[in-house]
Amino acid sequence: MAILQATPESIELAVQCLKNGGLVGMPTETVYGLGADASNPDAVKRIFAAKNRPENHPLIVHLASASQLDDWAQAIPESAYKLAQHFCPAPLAFILKKRPEVSEIVTGGQNTVALRIPNHPVALELLRQFNGGIAAPSANRFCRISPTQAQHVADELGEDVDLILDGGACQIGVESTIIDLSGDRPTLLRFGQITRSELEAVLQTDVFIPDSLSQTTVRTAGMMAIHYAPTTPAFRCETRFLLEQLKNDTQKIGVLTCGSMIPASQTRTVIQLPADSVSYAQNLYAKLRELDALKLDFIVVEQPPQSEAWHAINDRLSKATREIG
Ligand code: TXA
Ligand code: MG
């Protein structure tokens, strides 16, 4: 495994690696992906092995342009083209009916496929030169925090990835919005930077949100099927309870605040994140990783605001932390 600065030469190496069935760590605007040739089932199987990901958990196929959607999907509704024209390249993945020739290894056995045109110059150049679909989940081990820097990919996957293209820190920092357009009504499957209101404004119709997704406050972490979690026990609490939770100074505590100033001490490491959702999202995973590496007794995250701009962040925090207070 090597981390290579993204240049025309290293992108060419990455293309060769993909063509040979290899795994490439690639930057996108959301998080780093672990890419493989989506039309090579053996290469795609290596993704599942490297991540320890169950094989029924489908992957997103990345494309250079919306004009390739119908290479992978069929019966594409007008709504997909409307959204693609308005947003793409974008942190937005479409679930569409798959073409019969798309391998079920990519789609986890489903008859639908997830497609995304990422808005990152290195990813787009790689996709253009590769001239095909790149299947890429986030480049972390299953259930761990997604990587937002090239070094995170190396730390997560080590020798299980063949080459990592370094395209700098990810601009957005949380995974893409997923919209399912394969059924009767547009359905939001994952919150991301593109919000439900923005999708509805373009589609001129309601976007349905399943119940399980709208519950951004989860009472017991164990209730969630999947966590994007640090290994250190992590909690989140409202600002007004924060100081109360930090009284115990016999334990080593990490604190991630959302704007609040909390004094650090010998036993307490404090990271202050900005109280605007864009910068907060950019930094969240990297800072959780930093705190996780300190081998603390626990981490406390200050609950951010609940408005729509924070939905993606609160969704990830509800999986990474348990609510206390
Ligand atoms: O921002 C992103 O989307 C990043 C970057 C690398 O592009 N990728 C990413 O992939 O987050 P992953 O595999 O970590 O998450 C993909 C999600 C999974 O939760 C999966 O269940 C869902 O997409 N998904 C993929 N195909 C699907 C399908 N056919 N139907 C329903 N959900 C699907
Ligand atoms: Mg993931």
**Ligand 1 residue neighbourhood (C-beta within 6 Å):** 28, 30-31, 33, 57-60, 93, 95, 107, 110, 112-114, 116, 118, 136-138, 175-176, 178, 189
Which is more confidently placed, 226 or 278?
278
What distances in angstroms separate CA 55 from CA 51, 136, 162, 176, one per listed residue?
A: 10, 14, 21, 21
pLDDT at position 228 over 50: yes
Residue 222 pLDDT: 37
- DSSP codes joined into one string, 4-67: EE--HHHHHHHHHHHHTT--EEE--SSS-EEEEETT-HHHHHHHHHHHT--TTS--EEE-S-GG
pLDDT at position 282 over 60: yes
* Minimal-distance CA residue to ligand 1 atom 12: 137
Residue 214 pLDDT: 67
Residue 217 pLDDT: 41
Which of 55, 60, 144 has most ligand 1 atoms within 8 Å of CB, for mutation?
A: 60
Task: Give me the domains of the chain, ranges plus CATH numbers.
Answer: 2-215 (3.90.870.10), 234-323 (3.40.50.11030)
Residue 215 pLDDT: 56
Q: How confident is the model at residue 243 (pLDDT cuts 50, 70, 90)?
A: confident
Which of 23, 178, 190, 227 has most ligand 1 atoms within 8 Å of CB, for mutation?
A: 178
pLDDT in tens, 60-108: 999 999 999 999 999 999 999 999 999 999 999 999 999 999 999 999 9
Q: How far is the CA of 219 from the centre of ligand 1 (A)?
A: 25
* Closest listed ligand to the CA of 281: 1
When pLDDT is averaged across residues 30-40 and rounded to a whole number, the result is 98
When pLDDT is averaged across residues 283-302 and rounded to a whole number, the result is 96
Q: How confident is the model at residue 221 (pLDDT cuts 50, 70, 90)?
A: very low
pLDDT in tens, 181-198: 999 999 999 999 999 999
When pLDDT is averaged across residues 275-302 and rounded to a whole number, the result is 97
pLDDT at position 260 over 60: yes
User: Global pTM?
Assistant: 0.96
pLDDT at position 235 over 70: yes
**C-alpha torsion sign, points 153, 155, 160, 166:** positive
By percentage, how much of the chain surpasses pLDDT 90? 88
Per-residue burial over 166-195, b if 16 or more Cβ lie within 10 Å, else e, is bbebbbbbbbbbbbbbbeeebbbebbbbbb
pLDDT at position 218 over 50: no
pLDDT in tens, 125-181: 999 999 999 999 999 999 899 999 999 999 999 999 999 999 999 999 999 999 999
pLDDT at position 325 over 90: no
Q: How far is the CA of 181 from the centre of ligand 1 (A)?
A: 14
Mean pLDDT (the chain) is 94
